Structure 1
């Protein structure tokens, strides 16, 4: 049986998030019987669109007369930023999605421990803080995945099942470049740093699941750790032209489209890529394998709780908000809808999957652990942004040691 470790997130949104939405409406005097408007911050992505959320919420409204759930688009602002703004303005929403409480921020959120249904939600214990549950999720994601263009691999004479080490991964990229493909697709925004985490955390945290906690205690550093070989490999791949430097100008959606259109041969991304491939009717043309490492193979999968929800403590409709969150994470139809929409997984819940989705499920079934950064294993606030900055610096001349040293310097400055 696989062991589940904790995933990193601050109060902030997961690295995969690209935009947010918040519901508006209602006033503090409303009661459920008279009509209640629940305000909710949600994650907007190419899979989880405004139309999707409105359709899901309409199903709840249909079975709960008098309750209205609304949202408004907020552009590229993160869930965390929007929640912070609303709280500062004294205008709190009722519910937020893609927020992970920390020991420093739990007072902002309702304690759901006394709700018996919460104990059976995915990764509930792993995300508990001092034994109390503040966040509940629909399923789980895995992210240390390499999706590949089957035609490109055939043309380059490659067998994905034989790529297990970082050197073999680099050799595969050389063969793909010779075959006329951009070997590895990336993008700007948050994608660069997130992809590096998906690659490096699989190996480093499989070897030492307590690495982040030890970094907090000053027992380890980035410059003298297993992250350095990954930084060196990544820098070598850039210098060899395996990653296109101009890709930093692409959005997350642009990078995904480039891979789906066959312009690149491989794409490191989480399980939430599967619905995009399904929608594009490309799933049968794409394969998937677990991230190569220079350590144990297969490694653990960097992953996290999917569709996490919190109820804001200052909600004017806390009881109604808790009831809505319960529906989101326990109603079988709502759960299947959210899992399928973003390619996520949950034990005991099935839904129709493409061949690519089944391949991801097989990797999850075979992984020795899901590496979840939460609690003591959660990096300090702002780390994801700094990591993204340092990884992007490799494209503009920084060395692997420069990037590792930069991470240490930044981390130490936050203490």
Structure 2
């Protein structure tokens, strides 16, 4: 099955940076460690990843390389920074050759990790995962995209990747505007709607949104999750049962979306906006609430200088959009699999996981109370809330090839006045067709 990956659901800014970087292959950076008679004496670890230079994960992986060098004094480390597009487009060809690296960052999903696993190009890491106890550190819902079955579909019983971080959708609050308009911070769906109503009574459109990219579609799925349970998610995402787009979950979500539009909680003019426009609504203090991904967290930390803000789990559902992040994979043709295993283990260590957290990302294997940065601790605490309750429900466009564009068009139609029934029919058609023909 082809799978719409999470990076395609991220802000356009990140996608454009990736595309620009793909114009040139960054030259390999070869670093020879000091001489010695360590366990890997005379060997080489070849490592690829595509994180932006000086970003939170790039800093974490650089620190992991330093740790690896200290514990493997006889090993040379060759690191090559690729772009997302380079790995995505050429992975199958390269991993099936003698040029395969020993370990690389790769995108999660059926069309990426799942496809290569099905083709026999990735090492089954299950024995390694259990031996190191990584499966005990990574929550059940965060590990789904690391495990695949014989068909290459996620949620199987064999680990072909190891994620080190997570991603999810949460609530961002402008604390100053909440105080100015004497609005209480919401703790459940009823108090969330009460907050929306109070802002609107004061003449403020409360919710940041954008219809011409993923945010509006995320809202529709998030509302459906308010009425859903885990079996509903498994039916939709993992094809474990029949999905009824005119059932209570989707119907309530579409009707509630239209209700919020009519009450002015969203602005109908948001239908043509992109994700960056949504974040700007929050940054410019035009909208006091933004419910979106943790991938905005670092940018907001840098960009917001003139008001106080905070993050928390979205109070309207037990589950949220999210998953484990991209993952380390080991090619079948890797020459030094044991060294790759050792490197992955270092990235799962408390030291590196804490560094990920302090840098504003979401580590999978460290407790929130181990993070000293107060706002970063809020972020990680919110993610831990979902990881501990098996509450990561993936993304709405994942189950069907090309479904992202379908979702954007459908939610734009909803914002432009189409009926809930017709919009849900628009979503049902491609899904039902694909599920009936996928084997």
| CA distance in 2 between partners of 1:199 and 1:343 (Å) | 25
Which has the larger helix fraction?
A: 2
| Structure number with bigger Rg | 2
Structure 1's consecutive aligned runs of 4 or more residues displaced over 6 angstroms after TM superposition are: none
Give 1:377-396 correspondences, 5 Å limit. 379-396=399-416
How much has 1:361 moved relative to structure 2? 1.6
Q: Is the 8 A contact 1:286 1:356 kept in 2?
A: no
Q: Is the 8 A contact 1:139 1:346 kept in 2?
A: yes
User: Alignment partner for residue 370 of structure 1, among 390, 401, 409?
Assistant: 390
Q: Is the 8 A contact 1:141 1:270 kept in 2?
A: yes
Corresponding position: 1:352 with 2:368: no
TM-score normalised over the length of structure 2: 0.71
1:405 maps to 425
| CA distance in 2 between partners of 1:32 and 1:249 (Å) | 58
Q: Is the 8 A contact 2:246 2:424 kept in 1?
A: yes
Please report the RMSD computed on the Cα atoms of aligned residues, expressed in angstroms. Answer: 4.0
User: Alignment partner for residue 156 of structure 1, among 174, 181, 200?
Assistant: 181
1:106 maps to 117
Given the superposition, is the C-alpha separation of residues 366 and 388 from structure 1 closer, same or farther in structure 2, using an over 3 Å criterion?
A: closer
Q: Is the 8 A contact 2:162 2:327 kept in 1?
A: yes
| CA distance in 2 between partners of 1:238 and 1:314 (Å) | 54
Q: Is the 8 A contact 1:205 1:371 kept in 2?
A: no
How much has 1:409 moved relative to structure 2? 0.4
Given the superposition, is the C-alpha separation of residues 359 and 221 from structure 1 closer, same or farther in structure 2, using an over 3 Å criterion?
A: same
Q: Is the 8 A contact 1:184 1:265 kept in 2?
A: yes
Q: Is the 8 A contact 2:139 2:390 kept in 1?
A: no
How much has 1:313 moved relative to structure 2? 3.8
1:76 maps to none
1:59 maps to 63
Task: Give the SS at the match of 1:264.
Answer: coil
Q: Is the 8 A contact 1:38 1:68 kept in 2?
A: yes
Given the superposition, is the C-alpha separation of residues 112 and 281 from structure 1 closer, same or farther in structure 2, using an over 3 Å criterion?
A: same
| CA distance in 2 between partners of 1:139 and 1:365 (Å) | 15
| CA distance in 2 between partners of 1:283 and 1:369 (Å) | 35
2:152 maps to none
User: Alignment partner for residue 318 of structure 2, among 265, 275, 299?
Assistant: 299
1:204 maps to 228
Given the superposition, is the C-alpha separation of residues 345 and 317 from structure 1 closer, same or farther in structure 2, using an over 3 Å criterion?
A: closer
Give 1:317-328 correspondences, 5 Å limit. 318=337, 320-328=339-347
Given the superposition, is the C-alpha separation of residues 16 and 202 from structure 1 closer, same or farther in structure 2, using an over 3 Å criterion?
A: farther
TM-score normalised over the length of structure 1: 0.74
Aligned residues: 383
| CA distance in 2 between partners of 1:32 and 1:182 (Å) | 63
Task: Give the SS at the match of 1:409.
Answer: helix
1:262 maps to 285
- Cα deviation per residue 1:214-263 (whole Å; 9 max; x = unaligned)? 8x366331122312111122123234443234445544344224313312
- Cα deviation per residue 1:44-85 (whole Å; 9 max; x = unaligned)? 5xxxx6554554444344453621323244xxxxx4x65441
